[in-house]
Every structure is written in structure tokens, then in C-alpha cells.
Amino acid sequence: MSERTPNGLSIRAAELDAADDLRKLRERFLLPEGVVYLDGNSLGALSAGVPDRVADVVGREWGELLIRSWDESGWWTAPQRIGDRIAPLVGAAPGRIVVGDSTSVNLFKALVGAARLVAARGDAGRDELLVDATTFPTDGYIAASAARMTGLKVVPVEPAALPAALGPRTAVVLMNHVDYRSGRLHDLPGLTAAAHAAGALTVWDLCHSAGALPVGLDAHRVDLAVGCTYKYLNGGPGSPAYLYIAERHQAAFDSPLPGWNSHAEPFAMAPGYVPADGALRGRVGTPDILSMLALEAALDVWDGVPVEAVRAKSLALTDFFLECVEVYVPAGRVESVTPVAHAERGSQVALRAEGAAELMKELIARGVIGDFRHPDVLRFGFTPLYVGFADVERAARTLGDISGHVSG
């Protein structure tokens, strides 16, 4: 029997699941029965340990211990403690990541902080902020505001054209590690090295890569990075983001949002601001304890899980999905805009299709949850911790079943 038939693909999916060393990790999540969830690149699934942890935080730590929990329950140290748990997932040493605020707020801190680091070197000729032209819109909005504050000029640049755009006027470069629409993985090591060779600093947005593939922040000498925690890290809706500050920049990092939580003596209530040492100067105000401790519990699912194994399964899942789509979906009905090459692919597949919005509505109605991106993209995110190969085969088969029945 040919493997490239519906029956053959179904058998292969079962064989791949049986051989999957990560398959038991699905037990660490609470997923609805009968649902194939391929939208973890927007909101990760609920980790099994989170409900009880949140109930304890609310009922005991807040309800009984009250304000004592800042000390007795470790609330005060949560931003750096949880940052140290995220660190190995993005290739960072302890003490370089602080958790809190949103991705947008952290991006603002990082961009202004990077511009101030460049200015402190006395390199007055650097007046350009190069921004990934394909970036998530909010990143562009924040970059424009940061540029107005620091006297820089925003220069949109396609990622492939970045090396040629770098020059003596480049101060800071903002790039996305993985493009949120297409799933294209950009060359973090190469582009960081090119920016440094030109005398610029880098800020990387890791929202669509952290928890899906190795990043190597320290190894590749990234200057600053930000990311959310509610996608592949499964921290929950609106869970706090994080800020990475390379150790070599921490002593000079000048945050545009100094708050009492990042003061060297936060309870002294001094009128003058003196920043704390290390990445803690990335803190601002009182942390969001409920969502932060839910995130901490969610990170338990990563215990004993090497991100390299997650990457290997991610590539296998996306390869298999593309193969199944080719077999199940009528020719010409969809077109993949996600790169085939592993070195250029994140952990999602984006398919362009006429009538994409209606196709996705029907997929969701049939228990296959992905998402739609205007104007014509079906986007499927593959979280290897809980997505299996049978899920992939079912999703492609369902898409093939309905794609000839939903008009463009």
C-alpha cells in the first residue's frame, strides 16, 4: 500500500505517534475531547497544573496570608525567578531575563534602552532604527514612538535586505525571529553578527519562536530581546511577557520606564531614582501576581524537556502536514507561503486560499482549530508538547474534505 494515500497516511500517523518520545507530554495539558488544536501560536493550551495553583494563590496566598505573601509566598521575587525558568528555553543564563508587563511595553523599554546605549558611546552619526518591514503591526507602532523619543528615524527593511541596509548610520535593528503570518524563520545568528559588524545593536522579538525552537540568545550575542509567554510557553491569555538584557549591557541599560520595582532600594521611597543591578532594572511597577504565578505553574510542563527535541518534532509535524495537505486538498485550492527549508521554517504553516475566512470557520466547526489572517491566509500552529501526528493527518483530511465545498 502506498503511504501517499488516505489510508497510508493514517497508518503512518499512528506509527509516527507510537515512535514519538514526546507523546506523553500531552497528558500535562487539559484539552477538549475530540478537538485538534492548531492555534497554539496564538494561545497555548491549558497546563494541567495551573487550575490548582491559581486556586491556591487566590484562596490561600491572597485570601489567608494577604500581604504577607509578598515575602512568605515569594511574590516579590517572581519576575526574576520565572525569568530564570524561561532562560534555558531561549538560550540565556540566569539573571538575564525579567518577567512582567506586556510584549509591547517591554519592546518600548528595549528599543529606547538600545538607542540610549548607542548614544552613550558618543556615536552621534547613528540616527537610524531599522525595523523589520513584515513585523507585527504593534512592533511598528512602538518602534515609531521610541524613535520619536530618541531622535532616530525608522527605516523599514525586508529581512532579506537587512545586511545591505546596514551602515554607519544604523543605531538599532528590530527583527522578528519568526514571521507571524508566514512562519518564516529568520537568521538570528547571521543577522545579529551583521548588525554588530556595522556597529549597531539588535532587539529581537521572540514571540513566535520561544518554546518552539532553540534561540541561543547568549551564544549569538543578542543585545536585547522580548517575547510573550501565552503562545508556545502556554502561560495563559494575557500572561506577562519578558525582557532579556545581555549581561554586558546591564550596568548601562537606561530604561525609559523607571519604576519603584526596579529601584535599588524599592522600599526606601527615595525621591531620586537609582536602578537595581542586573536585569531587575527592567521591572517597572507592581507585578501582575495572579497571571504571573499561573505562568510559573504552566512552565512546569517543560521539566525534563529539551527544546532541541521539541524542534525536531516540530519540523516532523510541519513536514507531515504539508505532505498530507498535498494528498488531501484538491490541486490549486491552497498555496503554502511557509518556507519548505527547515532552516527557514518556524513551527507553523500558513496556507493561502480563496475564501480562507469561510474555510477556517468550517474547520473550527468540525473541531480543527487554527486561525485566519486577513486577507486570505489559513494559519496553523504546531505545539509539539501536545500536538500529535494523528492530529495533523485529521486536520489536513478535514481541510481536504471541505475545501471543495466552500466557495472563494
Q: pLDDT tens digit string along 237-264?
A: 999 999 999 999 999 999 999 999 999 9
pLDDT at residue 407, rounded to an integer: 39
Residue 102 CA, chain-centre distance (Å), reads 12
Does residue 223 have an active-site annotation?
no
Is the whole-model pTM more than 0.85? yes
- In the chain, the N- to C-terminal Cα span, in Å, equals 35
pLDDT band at 4 (very low <50, low <70, confident <90, very high): confident
Amino acid at 108: F
Active site residue 300: no
Q: Is the pLDDT of residue 204 over 70?
A: yes
Fold of 52-302: Aspartate Aminotransferase; domain 2 (3.40.640)
Active-site annotation holds for 380: no
Ranges in the chain annotated CATH 3.90.1150.10: 6-30+306-403
6-30+306-403 maps to CATH 3.90.1150.10:
yes
- What average pLDDT is seen over the chain? 96
- Interstrand relation of 128-132 and 153-157 (parallel, antiparallel or unpaired): parallel
Residue 6 has pLDDT above 90, yes or no: no
Q: How confident is the model at residue 405 (pLDDT cuts 50, 70, 90)?
A: low
Catalytic residue of the set 108, 136, 253, 389 = 136
Angle at 158 between CA 152 and CA 160, to 5 degrees: 125
Query: What pLDDT is attached to residue 2?
Result: 52
Concerning whether 231 is annotated as a catalytic residue, the answer is: yes
Instruction: Choose the catalytic residue: 28, 126, 283, 379.
Output: 379
CA-angle at 116, arms to 110 and 121, nearest 5°: 130
Distances (CA, A) of 351 to 136, 356, 402: 18, 9, 15
| pLDDT band at residue 406 under the 50/70/90 scheme | very low
Q: What percent of the chain stands above pLDDT 90? A: 96
pLDDT given for residue 408 in this prediction: 37
Q: Which helix (H) or strand (E) element contains residue 380?
A: strand 377-381
Q: DSSP 3-state assignment of 225?
A: strand
- Is residue 244 flagged as an active site residue? no
Span 187-202, average pLDDT: 98
Q: Do 215 and 188 form a contact (C-beta atoms < 8 A)?
A: yes
Mean pLDDT of 67-89: 98
Tell me: pLDDT of 1 over 50. Answer: no
Active-site position among 20, 101, 205, 376: 205
Give the pLDDT score at 239.
98
